[in-house]
């Protein structure tokens, strides 16, 4: 099959990039030249729909100077001198914000009594966000429709909404301003960011994932990426309603969790692996002891008996590092009913497989991979990273015995996240691990708005692990695994 490559060139102008029909070709760029602001995030009174204003400046051009910037800096300095922050931090969040707002409004009356009401409100809000929160990022963090925030230096901030990227009108004063916000995030966690250690992973109090990298590694200035977690975690019914997976597949996976099968969730970056792991963990019975191991902690388990373990980076002298492998070994001595590893990345894969093969069934973990077959190849490579000098066949036998099911998630062209394969690990045939698909996503096309239309369909193969369901008193109807009439999609690989 011969593939055609379509090349397009855009003029190097200071105007906005072409979008949609203006760009020519069939597909629009992933990054659309539209801006976001707190005002544009609010629903329109007439339509009830969110509106987004076009970006009038070039994405890469410096922002227009804020005429109130000097006043904002003076108000911020006076507010820090007037407040007893240690005393205020002990109050409930609402009372804390009200007290700072009142103090900021009083100081603003003294600094510039002639300031108009809209500018006054904006200035007080921004200064209070600077004192109590993460400054310019606070409106983005409060917007539940935004799933990711990307700061590319002080003057370029992007967001992800519904799987698409948009530039925003949010800016920082300078690089030092961005660094202060990063320091505010990582300081409570005991982590550091400097020229000797210019990269850091962290989390927000709500579990949102944070990554920061600074010069000299980040050439254009400090970069901050925040992957937000929903305040109300998604439930299994939410995923079915969103089309992430079918009701039949959900019933099957729920039975797998209750029957203590070992599940591996695979997918690329941003496909929703951690969210899906959270949803599946909800089916773990509440009377079991769960030990989670993460780097950093992100899971939001609702069971009462949960022990959360988190890795630790080395100190400034390069000592004291605690890796996931150390924590997996320690977890085996903590009498766990289940071990959940947020993501296997290196040699801890071997210890995880050992745990699964020595009585710790019902374990869950995630791995970055492009397909279920690639997920097993990555596990094999990570076991080799443990430097145990094991033969490849022995590693594959360990994997085939430990992993029962692989759930693969993909991010489709419309930004939606779907379960595209539910694959059972059957065993070994010669030197290869044998897989069989239980459910496969079949794309049927695109609708009028460019959204992917498709279904997660059963292949017709009854999983071998179904025998364990009966041992736990679970009786799944055989219709769950029956393919639609006329579909011959059952196959083994």
488 found inside a domain: no
Q: Is residue 208 part of a domain?
A: yes
Integer Cα distance of 401 and 376 in angstroms: 12
Reported as type and span, the H/E element at residue 264 is strand 263-267
pLDDT of residue 486: 60
Q: Are residues 290 and 150 in the same domain?
A: no
Q: CB-based burial of residue 420 (10 Å sphere; 0-12 exposed, 13-18 middle, 19+ buried)? A: buried
Find the CATH number of the domain harbouring 170.
Answer: 3.30.450.380
Is the distance from CB of 438 to CB of 461 less than 8 angstroms?
yes
Which pLDDT value is given to residue 39?
42
Same domain for 227 and 198, yes or no, is yes
Do 224 and 244 share a domain, yes or no? Answer: no
Q: The sheet that has 263-267: what strands, in order across it?
A: 306-310, 290-294, 338-341, 364-368, 263-267, 405-411, 417-429, 432-446, 452-458
pLDDT attached to residue 279:
94
Report pLDDT for 63: 61
Q: What are the beta bridge partners of residue 452?
A: 446
Total tally of structural domains belonging to the chain: 2
462 and 387 in a common domain = yes
Same domain, 361 and 434: yes
Same domain, 428 and 315: yes
- For 295-351, the pLDDT digits (tens) are 888 888 889 999 999 998 888 788 889 999 999 999 999 999 999 999 998 888 998
Q: Residues in the chain with pLDDT < 70?
A: 1-65, 486-493
Please tell me whether residues 196 and 98 are part of one structural domain: yes
Q: Determine the pLDDT at residue 305.
A: 95
Whether 268 maps to a domain, the answer reads yes
Q: Is residue 156 part of a domain?
A: yes
Confirm whether 2 is domain-assigned: no
Please report the pLDDT score of residue 51 as a whole number.
Answer: 40
Sheet order of strands, 223-227 included: 164-167, 157-161, 146-152, 223-227, 209-213, 199-203
Query: Is 383 part of a structural domain of the chain?
Result: yes
Domain boundary among 173, 208, 231: 231
The reply to whether 359 and 472 lie within a common domain is yes
In 3D space, the residue among 486, 478, 490 whose CA is nearest the CA of residue 439 turns out to be: 490
244 sits in the region (left: phi over 0; alpha: psi -120 to 50; else beta) called alpha
Residues 259 and 244 in one domain: yes
Tokens 């693969």 map to which residue?
A: 408
Same domain, 173 and 303: no
Decide if 339 is inside a domain: yes
Dig out the tokens for 372 from the structure.
């279920």
Q: Is residue 116 part of a domain?
A: yes
Q: What is the pLDDT of residue 40?
A: 43
Which among 189, 205, 231 is the end of a domain? 231
How do residues 210-262 score in pLDDT, each as one tens digit?
A: 999 999 999 999 999 999 987 778 899 999 999 999 999 999 999 999 999 99
Residue 444, classified by CB atoms within 10 Å of its CB into exposed (0-12), middle (13-18) or buried (19+), is exposed
For position 338, what pLDDT does the model report? Answer: 94
| Of 174, 198, 231, the domain-final residue | 231
Inter-residue long-range contacts of 45-48, CB under 8 Å, 24+ positions, other chains counted: none
CATH number of the domain where residue 254 is located: 3.40.50.300
Domain extent at residue 459: 236-481
Are 216 and 254 found together in one domain? Answer: no
Residue 304's Cβ-count burial label (10 Å; 0-12, 13-18, 19+) is exposed
The kind and range of the H/E element at 109 are: helix 93-111
- Evaluate whether 276 touches 378 at the Cβ level (below 8 Å): no
In whole angstroms, what is the distance from residue 490 CA to residue 463 CA? 12
Do 195 and 155 reside in the same domain of the chain? yes
Spatial separation of the C-alpha atoms in residues 235 and 278, rounded to whole Å: 9
């Amino acid at each position: 099959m011969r593939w055609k490559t379509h090349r397009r060139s855009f003029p190097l102008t200071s105007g906005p990039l072409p979008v949609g029909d203006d760009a020519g070709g069939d597909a629009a760029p992933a990054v659309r030249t539209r801006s976001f602001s707190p005002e544009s995030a609010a629903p329109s009174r007439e339509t009830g729909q969110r509106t987004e204003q076009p970006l009038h400046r070039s994405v890469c051009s410096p922002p227009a100077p804020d005429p109130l910037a000097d006043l904002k800096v003076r108000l911020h300095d006076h507010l820090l001198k007037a407040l007893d922050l240690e005393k205020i931090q002990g109050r409930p969040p609402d009372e804390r914000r009200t007290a700072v707002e009142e103090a900021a409004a009083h100081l603003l009356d003294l600094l510039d009594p002639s300031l108009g009401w809209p500018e006054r409100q904006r200035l007080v809000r921004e200064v209070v966000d600077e004192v109590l929160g993460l400054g310019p990022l606070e409106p983005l963090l409060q917007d539940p429709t935004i799933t990711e925030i990307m700061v590319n230096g002080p003057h370029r901030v992007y967001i992800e909404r519904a799987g698409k990227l948009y530039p925003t009108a949010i800016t920082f004063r300078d690089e030092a301003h961005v660094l202060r916000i990063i320091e505010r995030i990582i300081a409570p966690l005991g982590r550091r960011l400097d020229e000797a250690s210019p990269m850091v992973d962290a989390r927000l109090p709500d579990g949102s994932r944070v990554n920061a990298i600074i010069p000299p590694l980040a050439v254009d200035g400090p970069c901050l990426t925040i992957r937000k977690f929903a305040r109300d975690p998604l439930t299994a019914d939410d995923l079915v309603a969103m089309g992430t997976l079918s009701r039949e597949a959900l019933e099957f996976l729920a039975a797998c969790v209750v029957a203590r099968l070992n599940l591996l969730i695979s997918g690329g970056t941003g496909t929703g692996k951690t969210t899906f792991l959270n949803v599946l963990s909800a089916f773990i019975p509440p009377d079991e002891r769960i030990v989670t191991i993460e780097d950093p902690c992100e899971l939001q388990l609702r069971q009462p008996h949960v022990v959360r373990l988190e890795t630790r980076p080395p100190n400034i002298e390069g000592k004291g590092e605690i890796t996931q492998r150390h924590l997996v070994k320690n977890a085996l001595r903590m009498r766990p009913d289940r071990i959940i590893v947020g993501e296997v990345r290196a040699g801890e894969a071997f210890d995880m497989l050992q745990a699964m093969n020595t009585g710790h069934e019902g374990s869950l973990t995630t791995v970055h991979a492009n397909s279920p077959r690639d997920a097993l190849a990555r596990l094999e490579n990570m076991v080799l990273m443990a430097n145990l000098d094991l033969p490849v066949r022995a590693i594959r036998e360990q994997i085939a015995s430990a992993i029962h099911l692989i759930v693969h998630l993909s991010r489709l062209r419309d930004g939606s996240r779907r379960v595209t394969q539910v694959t059972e690990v059957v065993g070994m045939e010669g030197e290869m691990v044998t897989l069989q698909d239980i459910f496969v996503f079949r794309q049927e096309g695109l609708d009028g708005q460019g959204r992917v239309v498709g279904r997660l369909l059963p292949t017709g193969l009854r999983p071998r692990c179904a025998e364990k369901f009966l041992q736990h008193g679970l009786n799944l109807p055989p219709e769950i695994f029956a393919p639609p009439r006329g579909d011959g999609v059952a196959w083994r690989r």
